[in-house]
Structure 1
């Protein structure tokens, strides 16, 4: 079982695309309904109007040819081509005829035209390689082709282009609306992230809809209140340091000067030292980690120093496996405190069964490449470990497990300080029982 500190999820982009998708679906459904409605209402009138136009042109042309003198027909055909865009050709048996469009609307048009001109009327979209709208008619026993320019007929789908333009414009409008809806939340998310990193965000603009104004005004007020709390806390910490440690120093001096037995003096000095350590833990837990204080930290040198300092204690056996280079951005003092607290936790509660010595291993590796590079630090002991169901309780303030109470002489803030410092460094912390016994802490930091 592993316990991982939760990291803040990115919701902004998800909300943008969710809003854009919903608006796009709404626009698509609206356009589809409009398309179906227009098609249903326009189909029959458009078919009747187009069929009437075709019948009129064929009827007039046939009448003109029928009643004109044979020697004037050539001039008449030339005039039809020049002025009306109508051509008339004699139908031959070897004509190459392409089939006419068979869409629903064209089928209705052809049915109406045949009803007026006769059932033997033929239609084509191309005759002998010449495209156009071709209709056959008959004068006596002679059959002819009449070709009309397609532009003369109302295209049943000419408005689909405009519908496409409207759809594209609507989708662009949906993207703009999604951005405008998402912008206040994006600002709020970024400001909250800056607060989590210990920075002071710029005040959010109190403009826009009433709900946005109220949310931004409340957030700005919260930021001001947090600054006031932070200021009050700094004053309280200074007071605690002065008002508690000064009496402890006097007590230490009085113990040294008092006529006490060696055993009583050592006991009182131990109690005073324990009280001073508890105060130090409280101050470390309450002390903020400012992101503005982050610098380039050499983790190899830092871990090497921690291992060397811890190895000087008689009840600790340290081993360190370190790379040549490992750089992170952070507060060196706070990161060193994190490693020291983990080693101290292992020293107190991770002693190898059957011995009075705690074996502590520190391992550092650099993983990934370029912007995905991470520095992974592992601190593990060879003790008895912790029950899996209690691992999640380790990082809570003032918490000490039953197995450790007999040895506990602190306030239960050591691992809580680790948790707090790593959260400010945007690091990940995993706690798990080590294979073979003991507890393993895995810290993942962003590498430089």
Structure 2
């Protein structure tokens, strides 16, 4: 939530909402000050003239017709108890209360001081409508007369105006949201492409037909990815050339040593030398694997459990038994050669450093849509502060008894391949002793 509030999208939406709200407040203020208030004042002046005229007619009526006037006007001697000096106020009808108070104040300003005014709210006794009570003299006697409230004092039309204004504000906000989402889409594509690039992939070129500023950023990103692609191709070509140029004299050296020792002679020197040559060849291969890491390999749907079981069978043939606990994994796209290299590196590390208690577990994290693989051993374990460092290139661990240390690229290669599949590599202590390497791979 905090990340969303700090985003440019959320800030722009908040700014647009604030501007729309401010414009609505200003519009309502202008409407009330220059339209509604003068309208109420004109209604109050007209109503006051009407009352003056009515009072004049009543005062000029002949004595024998006054009783008929009193009956016709439903005048009464006593003021109803529900008639109040000021109309009731309520937060739910704030504007209506304002209109009533304004109307009464302006009406009293136009009426004589001896004509008091009272407001009766709508109830059963008033027939379901609001009334205005005024005291007049009929034949010198004071009577209270009820008159209907003019429409200008109610303000139903203005309430409709406010609702319409709020609806337009909501429509403007929704439109701004849609426009901002449209403008943010190229930025989302850029962030997605950058994450794909950082994971070792090759993102598609970004479109450059959007707004000028975003198009410039997309164009610069495309140029950067092209430059990185050329640098990667140059590096791969250079490493391939180095590998070829070194392996050619190594092969000749291997042949020369075999021919230098006569038949029936001591082959110890030859065997020792060939062992060193094999190590050099393995180091060259790891450099090539690290340089490539399978980025150009096309993912295909496959059974990860079958690949794990096949490799475990190969290791069993070499005398290294892995205990398998294979969960129910669906078929999903992965790079088979790269994934085989990932599993082989981790299983070789378990054999080299753990020696005993070798195991492979797989399971499905359905919520995160991840296939999980854990390769463990019962070796001496790894210090907590060393676990992250061992994933760095050229960080070497200490081999088991009789085994040389590696080149320091195995775990770096594994992490690159895991990231290429949208996953991670985590080294952690194994429950019961030893170390466990956990790799996750996204299910497509």
TM interval, shorter chain, is: 0.7 to 0.9
Query: Can you list the C-alpha shifts for 1:72-100, whole angstroms capped at 9, x where unaligned?
Result: 99xx9xxxxxxxxxxx8413569796764
Give the TM-score normalised by structure 1: 0.79
1:423 aligns to 2:416 (yes or no): no
What is the match of residue 83 of structure 1?
none
What is the match of residue 362 of structure 2?
364
User: How many angstroms apart in 1 are the aligned matches of 2:64 and 2:381?
Assistant: 116
Distance apart, 1:278 and its partner CA: 0.5
1:250 to 249, 252, 260: 252
Structure 2 unmatched runs, 5+? 90-96
User: How many angstroms apart in 1 are the aligned matches of 2:413 and 2:401?
Assistant: 19
The structure with the largest strand share of the pair is 1
What is the match of residue 92 of structure 2?
none
Distance apart, 1:327 and its partner CA: 2.7
Q: 1:47 to 1:291 in 2, by over 3 A?
A: farther
Map residues 391-430 of structure 1 onto 2, 5 A cutoff.
391-401=387-397, 407-430=403-426
1:198 aligns to 2:201 (yes or no): yes
User: How many angstroms apart in 2 are the aligned matches of 1:55 and 1:292?
Assistant: 91
Q: CA RMSD in A?
A: 3.9
What is the match of residue 322 of structure 2?
318
What is the match of residue 44 of structure 2?
51
User: How many angstroms apart in 2 are the aligned matches of 1:11 and 1:340?
Assistant: 41
Contact kept in structure 2, 1:386 and 1:439, CA below 8 Å: yes
2:103 to 101, 109, 123: 109
What is the match of residue 146 of structure 2?
145
Q: Which has the higher contact order (CA 8 A, sep 6+)?
A: 1
1:175 to 174, 177, 180: 177
Contact kept in structure 1, 2:369 and 2:442, CA below 8 Å: yes
2:438 to 439, 442, 445: 442
Q: 1:402 to 1:59 in 2, by over 3 A?
A: farther
Q: 1:436 to 1:33 in 2, by over 3 A?
A: farther
What is the match of residue 271 of structure 1?
276
1:208 aligns to 2:211 (yes or no): yes
What is the match of residue 223 of structure 2?
221
Contact kept in structure 1, 2:302 and 2:334, CA below 8 Å: yes
Distance apart, 1:164 and its partner CA: 1.3
Contact kept in structure 2, 1:363 and 1:379, CA below 8 Å: yes
What is the match of residue 312 of structure 2?
307
Structure 1 unmatched runs, 5+? 1-9, 77-87, 352-357
User: What SS does the corresponding residue of 1:293 show, helix, strand or coil?
Assistant: coil
Contact kept in structure 2, 1:329 and 1:446, CA below 8 Å: no
Q: 1:153 to 1:373 in 2, by over 3 A?
A: closer
Question: How many corresponding residue pairs?
Answer: 419
Q: 1:94 to 1:139 in 2, by over 3 A?
A: closer
Name which of structure 1's ranges 195-204 and 152-161 shifts more when overlaid on structure 2: 152-161
1:347 to 346, 351, 362: 351
1:383 to 371, 375, 379: 379
Contact kept in structure 1, 2:240 and 2:288, CA below 8 Å: no
What is the match of residue 91 of structure 1?
75
Query: Can you list the C-alpha shifts for 1:124-167, whole angstroms capped at 9, x where unaligned?
Result: 34363242553434242343222144258666944423431342
